[in-house]
């Protein structure tokens, strides 16, 4: 009976993971097609305005989520009796935070741009999605029950419907503001479909709000909120700084390269996510095997990142004009620089899992804060002199420069040398091939 229960749990986990990964693949593929068409249609300047608004709202969107994603799922799993109270409280917190974040985003955009221009309008339309995304609380319910299928279907139906709408808008030559509105429509439709799926679910309970629970959840989530803000700053500050220090055209050519450079990141994320349970098992069973397994993951990510970097660097001059057109020619140079940061990004997924396995999440926060501060500082130095290409160099230099920070923490030093070994893996292979060739020559 225990074996059957274990098999059922493994099957549920596999099916749940397959739905979540499938959701990412569908969204990435279709979204990339629409993004490329959007970039071609509106040109670098219009595409820059679009990406400035997206980056700006993403930055404030961290405060709308409150860092509670994993905490809510954990609470729902461990305290099923009070599921209604947990969901009701979480929804009230999310809606309140989202409303404040949306208003703050619009006010900040107005202050930076100096007028209620097109970019500020797009920020306002984009910010509506933060409020509607409060419905993700229902998604956490399905995740906790290992039944992500319902949430994925609801999200993808909304995404597919509004993607068709965006394609029609592109074909009609609609103004860019309509595309901003389509994002709010997508979030609203997804919220309605999730609510419908939850109402049909036999396992739903009456909702209520608990202030003591809200305080407890916020007390647990604020470090994750701070970490999430640091991560988002790290990822999106380039676009905001380019817009404020240069112009929307620079944001457009930089963002075109960024979209291509980031499109493959779901692969290391999926691999490390699947490997994490085995990593935990090996940590408990044998430290030596655990270290060897972690080193193997780092090596694999380094090789994967290197393969992508070489392939994209060699093809960037042809790839960018093919995807975006000659208007984005400068994006090829940016892409050929930025793609090399992917090696560090791929290894960072292993690093994040290692921190979780070791219970060192606070060091991850220090690491990310240092990365955000370094990136901002380098952008101030490089953007005025080198423009959008300077922002790409700042990204690459940051990814390399923050690695030695681990040496400041005793428990991080061994991990730092594992990452160095991974980066040196191609050199080790080349040396092994040369040595083997030398031995064969001597034998002959």
Query: Can you give the three-state secondary structure of 138-155, one letter per residue?
Result: HHHHHHHCCCHHHHHHHH
User: What's the pLDDT score for residue 436?
Assistant: 62
Query: Which residues, 6+ apart, have CB-to-CB distance to 214 below 8 Å?
Result: 89, 92, 93
User: What's the pLDDT score for residue 148?
Assistant: 64
User: What's the pLDDT score for residue 3?
Assistant: 52
Tell me the pLDDT of the chain (444 aa) as tens digits: 455 544 554 455 455 556 556 666 777 778 888 889 899 989 999 999 999 999 999 999 989 888 887 778 778 777 777 878 888 898 899 999 999 999 999 999 999 888 888 999 999 999 999 999 887 788 777 777 766 677 778 888 888 899 899 989 988 988 999 999 999 999 999 889 888 888 876 566 778 888 888 898 888 888 778 878 888 888 889 999 999 999 999 999 999 999 999 888 888 887 887 777 778 778 888 888 888 888 888 888 899 999 999 999 999 999 999 999 899 999 999 999 999 999 988 888 888 888 877 877 777 778 888 888 999 999 999 999 999 999 999 999 998 888 888 787 777 787 788 888 888 877 666 666 666 655 555 555
The DSSP string of 70-125 is HHHHHHHHH-GGGHHHHHHHHHHHHHHHHHHHHHHHHHHHHHHHSSS-HHHHHHHH
Instruction: Quote the tokens at residue 143.
Output: 């995740």
Angle of CA points 344, 388, 115, to nearest 5°: 120
pTM, rounded to two decimals:
0.80
Instruction: Quote the tokens at residue 134.
Output: 């409060």
The DSSP string of 60-75 is HHHHHHTT-HHHHHHH
User: What's the pLDDT score for residue 146?
Assistant: 65
Looking from the CA of 86 toward its CB, the CA atoms found within 13 Å total: 24
Buried/exposed code over 73-109 (b: 16+ C-beta within 10 A; e: otherwise): bebbeeeeebbebbbbbbbbbbbebbeebbeebbeeb
Question: Taking the chain, what is the end-to-end CA distance rounded to the nearest angstrom?
Answer: 63
Burial zone of 7 (CB within 10 Å; 0-12 exposed, 13-18 middle, 19+ buried): exposed
Instruction: Quote the tokens at residue 320.
Output: 């960018």
Instruction: Quote the tokens at residue 39.
Output: 């970039």
User: What's the pLDDT score for residue 403?
Assistant: 81
**Closest by Cα among 239, 261, 234 to 249:** 239
């Amino acid at each position: 009976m225990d074996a059957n229960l274990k098999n059922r749990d493994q099957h549920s986990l596999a099916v749940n993971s397959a739905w979540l990964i499938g959701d990412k693949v569908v969204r990435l593929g279709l979204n990339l097609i629409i993004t490329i068409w959007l970039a071609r249609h509106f040109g670098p300047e219009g595409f820059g305005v679009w990406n400035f608004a997206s980056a700006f709202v993403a930055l404030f969107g961290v405060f709308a989520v409150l860092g509670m994603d994993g905490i809510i799922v954990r609470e729902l799993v461990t305290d099923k009796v009070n599921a209604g109270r947990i969901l009701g409280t979480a929804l009230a917190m999310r809606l309140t935070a989202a409303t404040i974040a949306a208003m703050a985003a619009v006010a900040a955009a107005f202050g930076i741009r100096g007028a209620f221009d097109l970019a500020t309008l797009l920020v306002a339309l984009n910010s509506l999605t933060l409020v509607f995304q409060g419905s993700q609380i229902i998604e956490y319910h399905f995740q906790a029950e290992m039944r992500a299928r319902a949430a994925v279907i609801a999200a993808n139906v909304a995404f597919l419907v509004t993607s068709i709408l965006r394609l029609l808008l592109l074909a009609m030559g609609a103004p860019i503001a309509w595309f901003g509105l389509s994002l709010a429509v997508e979030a609203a439709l997804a919220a309605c479909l999730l609510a419908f799926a939850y109402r049909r679910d036999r396992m739903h309970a009456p909702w209520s709000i608990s202030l003591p629970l809200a305080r407890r959840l916020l007390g647990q989530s604020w470090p994750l909120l701070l970490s999430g803000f640091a991560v988002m700053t790290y990822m999106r500050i380039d676009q905001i700084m380019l817009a404020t220090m240069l112009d929307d055209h620079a944001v457009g050519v930089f963002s075109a390269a960024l979209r291509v450079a980031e499109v493959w990141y779901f692969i290391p994320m999926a691999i490390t996510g699947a490997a994490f349970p085995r990593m935990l098992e090996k940590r408990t069973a044998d430290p030596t095997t655990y270290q060897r397994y972690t080193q193997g993951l780092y090596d694999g990510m380094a090789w994967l990142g290197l393969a992508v970097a070489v392939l994209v660097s060699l093809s960037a001059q042809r790839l960018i004009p093919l995807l975006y057109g000659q208007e984005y020619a400068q994006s090829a140079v940016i892409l050929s620089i930025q793609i090399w940061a992917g090696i560090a990004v791929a290894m960072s997924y292993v690093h994040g899992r290692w921190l979780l396995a070791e219970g060192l999440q606070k060091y991850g926060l220090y690491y990310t804060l240092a990365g955000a501060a370094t990136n901002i500082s380098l952008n101030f130095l490089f953007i005025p002199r080198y423009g959008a290409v300077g922002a790409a160099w700042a990204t690459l230099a940051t990814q390399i420069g923050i690695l030695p920070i681990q040496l400041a923490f005793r428990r991080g030093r061994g991990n730092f040398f594992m990452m160095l070994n991974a980066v040196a893996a191609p050199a080790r292979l080349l040396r092994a091939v040369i040595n083997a060739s030398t031995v064969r020559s001597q034998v002959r």
